[in-house]
Amino acid sequence: MKATEKEKAAFRRYAQDNKEQIREYHKKYYQANKGKLRKQQKARYDIIKDNPDRKLREYKRRRQWWEENKELHRGIARTAWHKLKKEVLIYYSNREMRCAKCGFADIRALSLDHIGGGGCEHRRQIKNFYSWLRKNGYPRGYQVLCMNCQFIKRAENNECKGPSRLIKEMDDD
């Protein structure tokens, strides 16, 4: 039995008015049924994996969804990244989210610094630095610095090969 337009509109209003409750329900349901849901997902994947026609259809369906929802997907990804960055910065700044040297508190200019240096090489080895930190249990050896303090530290410790080294050399002359 298909829902009428009136019923669909009522459901959309209900969903809009009760977003948080619905989200909480889905989280609890997922936690309670995680094993069963993963088995179902694996079964669907196995069917698609073994059938080239179905695999192609699934690829086209996903590609079409992506084309139709690029901005939505980018917005979701951007929000998730900002949330992860905030979580990591809060952890490494002892819940204050401030620069360890000067106390600057604007999240847009805060970043994580490798205390012992070598951050550039380390980040090259890892695809997503903040995710890596969370997956590895927030290892020691990092601090929150604003970008000004980060660049000053890099120049003082000769950690960089970029323009700031040139500036330091000019100051020595």
172 within a domain of the structure (yes/no): yes
- Residue 124 pLDDT grade (very low, low, confident, very high; cuts 50, 70, 90): confident
34 within a domain of the structure (yes/no): no
Distance of CA 140 to the CA centre of its chain: 20
Structure tokens at 112: 């994580």
76 within a domain of the structure (yes/no): no
Structure tokens at 133: 């930190």
Q: How far is CA 80 from each of CA 76, 110, 165, 169, rounded to the nearest angstrom?
A: 6, 17, 35, 41
82 within a domain of the structure (yes/no): no
- Residue 157 pLDDT grade (very low, low, confident, very high; cuts 50, 70, 90): confident
Tell me how far apart the alpha carbons of residues 88 and 78 are, in angstroms, rounded to a whole number: 15
The domain total for the chain is 1
Q: What is the pLDDT of residues 39-70, one digit of tens each?
A: 999 998 888 888 889 889 989 999 999 999 99
20 within a domain of the structure (yes/no): no
The model carries a pTM of: 0.60
As a whole-number percent, the residues of the chain with pLDDT over 90 amount to 55
DSSP 143: E
9 within a domain of the structure (yes/no): no
Q: How far is CA 47 from each of CA 1, 43, 112, 151, rounded to the nearest angstrom?
A: 29, 6, 43, 52
Domain range holding 159? 96-173
Tell me how far apart the alpha carbons of residues 87 and 134 are, in angstroms, rounded to a whole number: 9
Tell me how far apart the alpha carbons of residues 142 and 93 are, in angstroms, rounded to a whole number: 9
31 within a domain of the structure (yes/no): no
153 within a domain of the structure (yes/no): yes
The closest alpha carbon to 85, from 113, 66, 112, 103, belongs to 112
